[in-house]
Amino acid sequence: MHTVVPTNCTTAEDRALREAATHELLETRHRSTDDVARQRLLEEVVELNLEIARGIAQRFRGRGVEDDDLEQVACLGLMKAVRGYRIGDGVPFIGYAVPTIRGEVKRYFRDCSWTVRIPRRLQELQGRIAAVIPQLEQELGREPTLDEVAAEIGVEVTEIRQAEGARGCFAVLSLDRPASREDNDLFLADVVAATEDPELHQFEATEMLSPLIAGLDARDREILELRFVENWKQADIGAKLGISQMQVSRLLTRILGRLRDDLQPTGAAA
């Protein structure tokens, strides 16, 4: 019977199914020598894991970049992860994909400093436009057209449009600037995170650990749930399972060690 693989995962079982299907597609792609087939498989893996990219992009919103741009960058990071993932490393795809996508989004924020590096020609032109407009307004008794500004300065209208389009791109916003016109009590500093959103780390941990936890046997999963979800003491867990507290401690050490080993970094972008 054909298993439907969920693309919107809400449970550990869903994520485990997605991870298994992803691994199967990646193995097939690794064995294939047909470029067309490899591209098709890459697209299937990306489509299957789009939720992960969108989830990471969502947690970087509100930091001065358009939502669509963020999602596109995250999807590019996902494609980069698909191409860079190595089957033989023994690391779950999700363990490689999440830091790769996150690294791509962070790199986008860092490299998007193009907004402070507009061409000097346009910067100088903006200064000339700012100087000539008041003069023309006084002479004409109205606001001058772009053609009139271009004629006065002696440049093409397209250059005036480029300079006007770049206006403000190199101005650094004050953190004391109101975040919106509707709320003068909320300032830009209040909505720009000084540190990473802790929810991002929680999302990543959930995405990366869920398939691994689903792969544990029933007793190991029960021990983890009792200890870290129900917050039981080791002695209480031992009493429920009929083993000693020392045995519970050893089991937890083994289980956590296995999960830690499965999540060893493979050089993905941080």
Residue 76 has pLDDT above 80, yes or no: yes
pLDDT tens figures, 104-117: 888 887 766 444 45
CATH number of residue 22's parent domain: 1.20.120.1810
pLDDT tens figures, 120-179: 777 778 778 888 887 888 788 888 888 898 999 999 888 888 777 655 444 444 444 444
Q: Are residues 70 and 83 in the same domain?
A: yes
Q: Are residues 121 and 74 in the same domain?
A: no
Q: Which structural domain range is residue 247 located in?
A: 217-262
Q: Are residues 109 and 146 in the same domain?
A: no
Is this structure's pTM higher than 0.75?
no
Please give the Cα distance from 169 to 113 (Å, whole number): 10
Q: Are residues 102 and 16 in the same domain?
A: yes
Residue 185 has pLDDT above 70, yes or no: no
- Judged on CB neighbours under 10 Å (0-12, 13-18, 19+), 266 is middle
Number of Cβ within 10 Å of residue 184's Cβ equals 9
CATH number of residue 222's parent domain: 1.10.10.10
Q: Are residues 58 and 121 in the same domain?
A: no
In order of 39, 57, 68, 201, the CA distances from 73 in angstroms are: 19, 8, 9, 19
Residue that is last in its domain, among 67, 89, 115: 115
Q: Is 178 helix (H, G, I), strand (E, B) or coil?
A: strand
Residues 6+ apart with CB under 8 A from 200: 56, 59, 60, 102
Q: Are residues 24 and 78 in the same domain?
A: yes
**Cβ pair 153, 130 in contact under 8 A:** no
Name the DSSP letter for residue 2: P
pLDDT tens figures, 235-267: 889 898 899 988 988 888 888 888 777 766 444
Please give the Cα distance from 202 to 248 (Å, whole number): 26
Name the DSSP letter for residue 200: H
Residue 10 has pLDDT above 60, yes or no: yes
Binned at pLDDT 50, 70 and 90, residue 118 comes out as: low
What pLDDT score was predicted for residue 180? 42
